[in-house]
Structure 1
């Protein structure tokens, strides 16, 4: 890593005050608050208190800036992006816009986020589950279950359960060969690893601001390539209809096609500029630089867990993982609570799984604190 890259990561770390006292290692759940994000939220509230009309005059300015930032991050055109309230809402909208044939089959694997499968079923599609072997490419398993009635592959780029990372280029090649759409939930990858819809052959992508993009909860993202938007938006509202002072109540107004037509009413206005600030922090540090740091830290976490005899659920090979590390432990919530007492923030699930998600602002000292806390836990037991 070059000196300028280290300086950018140091600046990113300095923007997160919490890191001065804690090793925060759960960015895949909710990002810690960065100072520029907090400042934008405070500015919005202050302006609302002092002069509400200043916001009224710029409703769509913050909206457009956020759309442009996210589009630039994922290699989409701004017109192909919509702002939603969360990833699940974006997922349902994406399936509507893709316009997949009724009764056709959507392939998912056992790491696909459940909303993708449930939304497909709700939209009158069939869902077929593909089982892949750990630490192996999924493309062959998907290919084996593809038939003429298969219209789409729906995958989580990086799985929330175990951190498995799909090779999108391989999946895109299969989709192009078989005439299928590639639909990607990138909530655990945007901001942590490079994602480019054009390069990676992604037809539809959904994500969230509140994780690796360092933004606030309440903002989701939908991106559908213009060429893939065969369906039409179902809902309509004054934003999507672009109405002004006059309108007809007995005629349906024209509504834009594609992602733009799904924005039917006002977004969460106090959050738009804050979400933009989060993405700008990520882009200023450089997603490639963040990805390199994350790869290094994840490797240290995986090695440290293995040396302590813990069962690591995340793939051993670096090419099949990104920023999410999961490991098995009998009393996961208790271990997470113990680590919090030692200034280390992770997440423990009642099912017996702990998640550790280092971001680009984390460093080796944070990982040292994690493994020292685990050592203390094992000694105490």
Structure 2
């Protein structure tokens, strides 16, 4: 297969010596991102401070992320992590009798369950939709989401096996039941097209260190403008106020839109990285990235099965993202062995995840699977 993005590979130094297939954990860092981090550090070294410029870069990052998901910039807030976003949203809710059910799934990242279960002492009741053979059947949302459901909290792409959900179909169901839809897009943003308006998503969270090709320390929260204006966050800070430069310690005046969910000074260095990384993704186009990753994922599934590996990723193309997960006993140990052989993959529980990005090739995947099968044979 001809690599349509071969000219971008030199932007990622790690590819010169390693096969990097762990975008589901940490995307490869580009020279453009590294240069943006250096620019931030140099401004501190030479000017002693860069407050105003750094704030502008945060706004640039917000604007770029908004464009990436089809939102307006005033519908985006910057926080430190997706876990922080979950807690900020959960603590803003009132769990009143008759409207106090939180529905999530057993395929969501543990943070989701942890945060929602922590709200039970405040009146919430948590229901987990069970998975069935590595997927959540759409009809389960009809069964588990009821008129007393306040929020339906789901992942777009499952971190464990790459299962991708039909967000618009789920939104139609849960909205008919009177529930809000909260989407964890950490494993999809940057590799799967997202349009929050067309998909009718109420709340969405994403971090930057995976397919968005940034570093830890920054996450983005989207909330529909009309919904954000109704909420008064209990997790707040001076950046979440209408005019934080007034330094008014006696009064809370929430900022307009989703910005009211911001707290303290963001990680500026992470914002510099995010702005540069998302610019690159927008230049290529997530639709183009998604089409290419569909081909790589199909190859990974086909070649993995040919080599005798057991996949836990859905075989249907419309039910998966860019992650291919193979069942592997002692996955963590196998991940470490492969890393010593210059192949970077990611283990979770009992699977090895192969998660390419646009900079990867079919040969990368072939070599990784060949080495994986060699290691598994040697460690039987």
Q: Same fold (TM over 0.5)?
A: yes
Q: Which residue number corresponds to residue 145 of structure 1?
A: 144
- Give the 3-state SS of the residue equivalent to 2:198 in structure 1: helix
Q: Which residue number corresponds to residue 66 of structure 1?
A: 61
Q: Which residue number corresponds to residue 208 of structure 2?
A: 209
**Cα offset, 1:245, TM superposition:** 6.3
* C-alpha separation in 1, matches of 2:334 and 2:72: 44
Count matched residues. Answer: 374
Contact 2:242 2:256 in 1 (8 A): no
Matches within 5 A, 1:243-322: 243=243, 247-249=247-249, 251-322=250-321
Q: Which residue number corresponds to residue 57 of structure 1?
A: 52
**Cα offset, 1:278, TM superposition:** 0.7
Q: Which residue number corresponds to residue 326 of structure 1?
A: 325
Q: Which residue number corresponds to residue 237 of structure 1?
A: 237
**Cα offset, 1:90, TM superposition:** 1.2
* Unpaired stretches in structure 2, ≥5 consecutive residues: none
**Cα offset, 1:137, TM superposition:** 5.7
* C-alpha separation in 2, matches of 1:94 and 1:12: 38
Distance 1:330 1:132, change over 3 A: closer
**Cα offset, 1:228, TM superposition:** 2.6
Q: Which residue number corresponds to residue 359 of structure 2?
A: 361
Contact 1:139 1:174 in 2 (8 A): no
CA RMSD of aligned residues (A): 2.2
Distance 1:174 1:131, change over 3 A: same
Q: What are the Cα deviations for residues 249-306 of structure 1, in whole angstroms up to 9, with x where unaligned?
A: 4x31422254211223210112212111011111111101111111111111111222
Contact 1:315 1:321 in 2 (8 A): yes
**Cα offset, 1:333, TM superposition:** 2.6
Answering whether residue 27 of structure 2 is matched by residue 28 of structure 1, we say no
**Cα offset, 1:122, TM superposition:** 2.9
Contact 2:243 2:255 in 1 (8 A): no
**Cα offset, 1:135, TM superposition:** 6.4
**Cα offset, 1:177, TM superposition:** 1.6
* C-alpha separation in 2, matches of 1:225 and 1:245: 26
Q: Which residue number corresponds to residue 104 of structure 2?
A: 108
Distance 1:235 1:130, change over 3 A: closer
* C-alpha separation in 2, matches of 1:21 and 1:39: 20
Distance 1:90 1:157, change over 3 A: same
Q: Which residue number corresponds to residue 88 of structure 2?
A: 93
* Unpaired stretches in structure 1, ≥5 consecutive residues: none
Contact 1:191 1:213 in 2 (8 A): yes
Answering whether residue 71 of structure 2 is matched by residue 76 of structure 1, we say yes
Greater mean alpha carbon deviation, residues 332-341 or residues 170-179: 332-341
TM-score by length of 2: 0.92
**Cα offset, 1:371, TM superposition:** 2.0
**Cα offset, 1:92, TM superposition:** 1.7
* C-alpha separation in 2, matches of 1:24 and 1:376: 18
* C-alpha separation in 1, matches of 2:181 and 2:95: 11
Q: Which residue number corresponds to residue 168 of structure 2?
A: 169
Matches within 5 A, 1:176-215: 176-215=175-214
Matches within 5 A, 1:336-355: 336-349=335-348, 351-355=349-353
Contact 2:145 2:174 in 1 (8 A): no
Distance 1:34 1:138, change over 3 A: same
**Cα offset, 1:195, TM superposition:** 0.7
**Cα offset, 1:340, TM superposition:** 2.2
* C-alpha separation in 2, matches of 1:320 and 1:246: 50
* C-alpha separation in 1, matches of 2:24 and 2:182: 20
Distance 1:204 1:98, change over 3 A: farther
**Cα offset, 1:31, TM superposition:** 1.2
* C-alpha separation in 2, matches of 1:216 and 1:245: 28
**Cα offset, 1:98, TM superposition:** 6.1
Contact 2:232 2:254 in 1 (8 A): no
Distance 1:241 1:73, change over 3 A: same
* C-alpha separation in 1, matches of 2:275 and 2:338: 32
